[in-house]
Chains A and B, each alone.
Chain A
Amino acid sequence: RKEVEQDPGPFNVPEGATVAFNCTYSNSASQSFFWYRQDCRKEPKLLMSVYSSGNEDGRFTAQLNRASQYISLLIRDSKLSDSATYLCVVNPLGNQGGKLIFGQGTELSVKP
């Protein structure tokens, strides 16, 4: 099983659509979770951390289900500028060095 696994994508959606990304992780002891976005040939940019209680930032909502080892990201009212690759990222527990493990990413293309 991959350490972090995401929907393969790509997702092609019209402007204004709601889109959901799913991710599973294999290390049940993992404590820290993030969503990053990556534009073509650019660096990963932090979108949001994911907390156990779930969290929202404007049009973006992240959820964590520890029992299922599952993380999700919901984008509402998608914009053209949301087109990017979305990376599910996990920081394993007990690793004081802070190593991040990245999923393969899910590409999103928002069309007019």
Chain B
Amino acid sequence: EPEVTQTPSHQVTQMGQEVILRCVPISNHLYFYWYRQILGQKVEFLVSFYNNEISEKSEIFDDQFSVERPDGSNFTLKIRSTKLEDSAMYFCASSVSGLGYEQYFGPGTRLTVT
């Protein structure tokens, strides 16, 4: 069964450093997403991406965040200058289409900012 994959599984970084989280969505999916979950809190939407453009972003997704699909398979989330409060689990998801279609989540990257 096709799966979303993410690397690395755990990233430790110092405050102010840049990090890039990587995802490989399911191959025939067209919509891609990033979510985050701070420990003990609910899953929160960050951004959706379709046709090489951001479709929607939340207030969390400020200028420090960016997304890119650098090739036909990878989808990345970059945080330019990490803060302590960026520590969270980051999940990538993909879906065949947008509204109404099920989204499938990758195993996540645990980001720890020290």
Interface of A (DSSP majority class): loop
- Residues of the B chain whose Cβ atoms lie less than 8 Å from the Cβ of A49: 102
A62-107 interface with B by 8 A CB criterion: 87, 91, 93-105
A97-B56, A98-B33, A98-B100 are known contacts; what are 9 more A-B pairs with Cβ within 8 Å? A31-B100, A49-B102, A96-B55, A97-B50, A97-B98, A98-B99, A100-B35, A100-B43, A100-B103
The answer on a CB contact under 8 Å between A95 and B106 is no
B63-100 interface with A by 8 A CB criterion: 89, 91, 93, 95, 97-100
8 A-B pairs with least C-beta separation: A97-B55, A97-B56, A97-B48, A98-B98, A43-B105, A102-B43, A32-B100, A99-B45
Q: A residues bordering B, Cβ < 8 Å?
A: 31-32, 34, 38, 41-46, 49, 87, 91, 93-105
- Least distance between A86 CB and chain B CB atoms (Å): 13
- Residues of the A chain whose Cβ atoms lie less than 8 Å from the Cβ of B41: 104
- Complex CA–CA separation, A44 to B92 (angstroms): 11
- Residues of the A chain whose Cβ atoms lie less than 8 Å from the Cβ of B58: 99
- Residues of the A chain whose Cβ atoms lie less than 8 Å from the Cβ of B99: 31-32, 91, 93-96, 98
The answer on a CB contact under 8 Å between B105 and A98 is no
- Complex CA–CA separation, A34 to B103 (angstroms): 10
- Least distance between A101 CB and chain B CB atoms (Å): 7
- Residues of the A chain whose Cβ atoms lie less than 8 Å from the Cβ of B44: 102
A-B contact pairs, 5 of them (CB 8 A): A34-B102, A44-B43, A97-B56, A98-B99, A98-B100
The answer on a CB contact under 8 Å between B56 and A99 is yes
Binary flags per residue of B15-40, CB closer than 8 Å to A gives 1, else 0: 00000000000000001010100000
- Complex CA–CA separation, A96 to B101 (angstroms): 11
The answer on a CB contact under 8 Å between B45 and A101 is yes
Q: Which of A34, A97, A101, A102 counts the most B-chain CB atoms under 10 A from its CB?
A: A97
